[in-house]
Structure 1
Amino acid sequence: MAITLYELVGRDAARPFSPHCWKVRLALRHKGLDFQSATAGFTEIPGLEGGCSKIVPILRDGETLVAASFAIAEYLEETYPNRPSLFGGEGGRALSRFVESWSQRTIHPALARFAVLDIHDVLGEPDQAYFRESREKAFGTTLESFVADRADRVEPLLKSLEPLRAIVARQPFLGGDGPLFADYIVFGGFQWARVSSPFQFLPAEDPVALWFERCLALYDGEGAKVPAAA
C-alpha cells in the first residue's frame, strides 16, 4: 500500500509550505520511498484520518498513522532500517533533537516576523479567518504590525545564523558530505519562507544561501519543484 503524506497548503494545492511537512518530504526521498501527497488547509486538519491529530504532517503507511515530523522520521528510520539512515546512528538522532530545538526557537520565530502576513494572504478564505484570529491572539497585535519592521530584523537573523554558517562554509551539509535529517529540519524553515513570501533576506553569497541551494537541488530538485513566492 502506498505511503500517504498529509501536507498543509493554501489556495494553491500545488504549493505545500509547512516547514514540518517539508522535513518529512525530504526524509521520504532520502529513504527512497514512494509516497503520495494529500493536501489540507488549516481548518481541514481536524477532519483528517478521523481526527487523529491536530497538526500535520501526518503519515499513513499501510495501517500505521504517525503525526509530527520528528516522530515520522524516527518511524521511517526504524521501519526501513536497510535504506539510507536519516540520523547516522543514535548520536545523530540526539544531535538532530538539538538542531530541531535550535531551529524552532531561533529560526522559525525570526522567519515568522518576515512571512506571517504573506502566509495569511496565500490561504483560502476560511483559513485566513482562522489564521488571523489565532495568530493575532498569540502575538498580541495585528499581522500587519507584526511584520511592519521586518526589514530591520534581517541583520539580527543573519547574525543568529552564524553557528549554521560556520558549519556549512566548511562542509556541504550538516550531515557532512551528504545530508541527514538535521539538514532537512533547518531546510524546512527556509523553504517555508521561500514558498510563502517574496521577502528576500539571505544574501546570495552567504554560505547559508549556498547550502540552501544545495538542499533545494536534492533528489532531482524536490524542493525547487515548488517555485519561490513572487
Structure 2
Amino acid sequence: MTIVLYDLVGADEARPFSPHCWKVAFALAHKGLEFKSMPVRFTDIGEIEAGSFKTVPVIRDRGRTCADSFQIALYLEETYSDRPSLFEGEGGKALSRFIEKWAQATLIGYIGPSLLLEIHAALDPADQVYFRGSREKRFGRTLEEAARGREDRLEGFRASLLPLRLMLSEQPFIGGQRPLFADYIVAGIFQWARVISPFPLLAVDDPVTTWFERCLDLHDGIARRIPAAS
C-alpha cells in the first residue's frame, strides 16, 4: 500500500513548501518508498485523519499514522530497516538531533521572518487570514515589521553558515560521502525558501549552494521538479 504524506500547500497545490514536509519527502525517497502527497492547506490541518493532528507532516502507512518529521524518520528507519539507512547508526541519529536544533536556531531563525510576506502571498484568502493572525501573535509584530530589513541581515546570516560551509568544502554531504537525514533537515529548509521566494539566501559560489544543488538532484530530482519561485 502506498504511503500517504499530508503535505502543506498554498493556493497552488502543485507547490508544497513546508520545510518539515520536505524533510519527510526526502526521507521517503531515500528509502525508495512509494508515497502519495496529499495536499493540505493551513486551515485544513485540523481535519487530517478525523482531527487527530494539529500540525504537518503526517504520514499514513500500513493503517498507522505518524507525525513530526523526526519521529517519522525514526519510524521509517525501524519499519524499513532493510532499505538504505537514514542515520547509519546511533551516531547519525545524534548528528541529526544536533543539526535539527542548529537549523531551527540559525536557519529558520533568519529565514522564517524573512519569508513571511511571500508565504502570505502564496496562500488562498482563508489561509491568509489564519497565517497573518497566528504569525503576528507569534512574532509580536506585523508580518511587514518582522520581514523588514532582511537585506541588511543577509550577510550576517551567510556568515553564520561558516561551520557548514567548511564541512561541505571537504565532503559532498553532511552525512559524509552519502546523504543522511541530517542533510534532509537542512535541504528541506532551503527548499522551503526556494519554492516560496527568489530572495538570494546563498551566494552563487558558496559551497553550501553547491551542496544544495546536489540535494536537488537526489532521488531522481524529487525537489528540483518543483520550479523555483521567480
* TM-score, scaled relative to structure 2: 0.98
Shift of 1:106: 1.2
Partner of 2:3: 3
2:17 & 2:58 partners in 1: Cα distance?
14
* 1:4-58 C-alpha deviation (Å, 9 max, x unpaired): 0000000000000000000000100100000111011001001010112111110
2:57 & 2:107 partners in 1: Cα distance?
19
Partner of 2:125: 125
Partner of 2:17: 17
Partner of 2:59: 59
Shift of 1:116: 1.0
2:200 & 2:99 partners in 1: Cα distance?
24
Partner of 2:149: 149
1:2 & 1:91 partners in 2: Cα distance?
30
1:88 & 1:57 partners in 2: Cα distance?
23
* 1:132-188 C-alpha deviation (Å, 9 max, x unpaired): 011111111111111120100101110111111111111000011110000000111
Q: Is the 8 A contact 1:30 1:84 kept in 2?
A: yes
Q: Which runs of 5+ in 1 are unaligned?
A: none
Partner of 1:216: 216
Secondary structure in 1 aligned to 2:38?
strand
**Does the alignment pair 1:80 with 2:80?**
yes
1:84 & 1:21 partners in 2: Cα distance?
20
Partner of 2:134: 134
Answer with 2-11 or 136-145: which moved more.
136-145
**Does the alignment pair 1:70 with 2:70?**
yes
Amino acid at match of 1:77: E
Partner of 1:94: 94
Runs of 4+, deviation exceeding 3 Å? none
**Does the alignment pair 1:193 with 2:161?**
no
Partner of 2:35: 35
1:46 & 1:163 partners in 2: Cα distance?
39
RMSD of the alignment, in Å? 0.7
1:118 & 1:204 partners in 2: Cα distance?
22
Shift of 1:113: 2.6
Amino acid at match of 2:86: L
Q: How many residue pairs are counted as aligned between the two chains?
A: 230
1:221 & 1:196 partners in 2: Cα distance?
18
Q: Is the 8 A contact 1:100 1:185 kept in 2?
A: yes
2:149 & 2:143 partners in 1: Cα distance?
12
1:205 & 1:88 partners in 2: Cα distance?
30
Q: Is the 8 A contact 1:114 1:199 kept in 2?
A: no
Partner of 1:114: 114
Q: Is the 8 A contact 1:8 1:56 kept in 2?
A: yes
> Sequence identity, in percent?
57
1:92 & 1:141 partners in 2: Cα distance?
38
Amino acid at match of 1:85: S
2:76 & 2:136 partners in 1: Cα distance?
36
1:49 & 1:210 partners in 2: Cα distance?
39
Shift of 1:201: 2.2
Partner of 1:26: 26
